[in-house]
Every structure is written in structure tokens, then in C-alpha cells.
Amino acid sequence: MENIKSKVVLGLLFGVIVIVGLALAADLPQVLDAVRGFEWGWLPLILGLTTFNYLLRFIKWHYYLRQVGIDHIAWADSLKVFLGGFAMTVTPGKIGEAFKSLWLKNLTGAGMARTLPVVAAERLSDALACALLASVGVVAYPQYWPVFAAILVVLIGGISVIQIRALSLWLLGIAEHLPLVSRFAHSLHEFYEGSFELLNLKNLAVAVGLGTVSWAGEGAAFCLVLKGLGVPMTVALLSQAIFILAFSVIVGGASTLPGGLGAAEVSLAGMLAFVVGLPRELAASAALLIRFCTLWFGVALGFVVLALYRQQLFVSQQLEARGQMSEAGSQKSGV
């Protein structure tokens, strides 16, 4: 837990560095002027569209839980776990999101090997949904094709390996004979079975369908950010905003940086300058504003949930730790 806390703090510090660095690179005084000129009346609708994104992704999350047999968890508890995970998105590679499996274990008793595939499949389906949204734009702007193609090959390749059961079981058989892996053989098989189920055609279609609509909503929020900065609203701008946001989400996720920090912001600002033709200070301002209304809004929600329900989410872990301490004390005293 202390290790995760340090990673979260480092992620937050890195976020501050990214924000300041991008603003300085784009001319800080002009960026501040652009932000001051933003029409803040659009903010409720922007945050509403972000919340719409979260709502659909939560429905996907709860659907996935049911597919791995976690059908006795209350919607409210499932929502706490889902939102609490947002606080962990600023950890490197979002590894802190694995805490969602620990919380599920505390709430339902389900083993982590059973629920970790849900965490992984949720992120994978988001990436595929964003790839689908970005595909039309990539055709229009072929210079982005190499990066897009490389990421798409990795995503589809990983899913294909999991769905070719004979190949996956053969690879698991090899892994079982490795010294450091053999002890986790049962957990690996359970993780694979969950992944195989979640990534079948039906479940993948449901998840990517929900993800496509949810991320399109966030793309619309990005378009409103541009509108608030004075960019004329057009159908072309909406399609460009969705393309840029989706592509930047993919780049940020592929970077494995905390929350995609740095990679996503640079991608957003750079593509706004190239695709939409915005001056660098306006592009940087738009990138920072949409990240505040999406990433940092989500992180804030996550911390609020963890503050309100920390005891409930971590209670089993706390009791187990106390039990181990008590047992150690008894052994030490010779009882």
C-alpha cells in the first residue's frame, strides 16, 4: 500500500510538471490569456458528457463482472470499486488499477485471478473503441497510420492469441515449468479462462459498442472545449475532435506513462495544430482544459470515493494484517 501511495504521489507530481511544461512550451502568458477567455458556461455540459462516458463504461464494467460470475455484488458497491480505480490511473502503466481486484476480493470474496481479467479487458475494450473512432481520421491523415497500425496489431494480436485456445494452453504449459511461474500455475489458468470468456466475440462486441458511444461522448466534450475557446462549431470540427481525442487516448495508453501524462497532452496539442490549424497557445490550452475535465476530474472523483469508503474497500486487508500481526506476536511470546 505504501508503495502504491508513493507511485500515486509521483504521478501527481509528474502531472504538475506536464501541465507547467506544456504551458511554458506554448508561451505561458498567451496560454493563460486563452484560458481566461474560455466561456465557462460550457463547463457543466462538458463535465456532463464526461460523466456520460463514465456511466457507459461503468455499465460495461458491471456487465463484465457478471460474465466472470460476480453476480452477487450490489450496483452501489460495484460503482465504488469502479470510481475508486480512477484515483489509481496516475500510477505507471495504470498498475494501481489492479487494486480494483483487491477491493472486489474484500467485498465479494472472489479471487484476484478471477477479477483481474475484468480490469484488463475493460482497458483493452476502451483501446479498441478508440481505435474504431480514430480509424476514419487515420485514413484522412495517413501520417498517423504507422503508429495507429502498430498499436492495432498489438491489440488484435493479443486478443487472437487468447482466443486460440490450443495455443494459449500450450504457452501456459510452458510457463508452468518456469521456476518463478510454476507456483502461480493455477492462478494463471484462472486468469486465462476469465480473459477467454471476456474477449469472446459477443462480449467484445458489447464492450466495444458501449466504449465507442462513451468515448464519442468525450470527443463531443472536447469539441465543446474548442467552442469555449472561440473555435467556430461545425460538423467537421466535431469529427476532428472525436478523432484527435480517440487517437490521443490510444497514444497515452500505449505510452504506459501515469495516466498517459505527457504523451496524451502532446498528442492533443500537436494534432490540434496540424489537423485543425490552431495556434500553439490555443492548442495547448485546449489540451490542458480537456485533460482537467476528463483525467483530473476522474482522479478527483476517485479520491473522493476512497476517502468516503476507504474502510469498506480495505477492511478485509486491514483485518488480515491485524491477524498476521497478532499471530506473529503469539509465536514470538511462545503461546
The model's pLDDT over 46-97, given as tens digits with 9 standing for 90+, comes to: 999 999 999 999 999 999 999 998 988 999 999 999 999 998 888 776 677 7
The reply to whether 56 falls in a domain is yes
3-state SS of 261-330? CCHHHHHHHHHHHHHHCCCHHHHHHHHHHHHHHCHHHHHHHHHHHHHHHHHHHHHHHHHHHHHHHHHHHH
The reply to whether 329 falls in a domain is no
More confident residue, 286 or 113: 286
Burial per residue of 7-42, b for 16 or more beta-carbon CB atoms within 10 angstroms, e otherwise: bbeebbebbeebbeebbeebeeebbeebbeebeeeb
The reply to whether 325 falls in a domain is no
Q: Cell 480509424 maps to which residue?
A: 135
Output the pLDDT for position 2: 59
Residue 260 pLDDT grade (very low, low, confident, very high; cuts 50, 70, 90): confident
Output the pLDDT for position 71: 86
pLDDT tens digits, one per residue of 157-191: 988 888 888 888 888 788 777 777 667 666 777 88
Q: How many domains does the chain have?
A: 1
Output the pLDDT for position 321: 43
More confident residue, 316 or 260: 260
The reply to whether 328 falls in a domain is no
Give the Å distances, CA to CA, from 225 to 23, 217, 229, 260. 17, 13, 6, 20
The reply to whether 180 falls in a domain is yes
Output the pLDDT for position 298: 94
**pLDDT (average), residues 222-233:** 95
The reply to whether 323 falls in a domain is no
Task: Report whether 85 contacts 47 (CB < 8 A).
Answer: no
Neighbouring C-beta atoms of residue 68, cutoff 10 Å: 21
Q: Is the pLDDT of residue 331 over 50?
A: no
Q: Which of 12-26, 168-182, 215-229 has the lowest mean pLDDT?
A: 168-182
Residue 44 pLDDT grade (very low, low, confident, very high; cuts 50, 70, 90): very high
Alpha carbons within 13 angstroms on the beta-carbon side of residue 201 total 1
The reply to whether 59 falls in a domain is yes
Output the pLDDT for position 322: 42
Three cell numbers, residue 287: 489540451
Output the pLDDT for position 94: 63
Residue 324 pLDDT grade (very low, low, confident, very high; cuts 50, 70, 90): very low
Q: Is the pLDDT of residue 254 over 50?
A: yes
**pLDDT (average), residues 116-125:** 92
Output the pLDDT for position 285: 95
| Domain containing residue 110 | 2-316
Output the pLDDT for position 316: 57
Residue 300 pLDDT grade (very low, low, confident, very high; cuts 50, 70, 90): very high
Mean pLDDT for all residues in the chain: 86
Instruction: Report which residue type is found at 90.
Output: V
d(CA 94, CA 289): 22
Angle in degrees, CA 105, 94, 59, rounded to 5:
60
d(CA 21, CA 15): 10
The reply to whether 124 falls in a domain is yes
d(CA 243, CA 265): 15
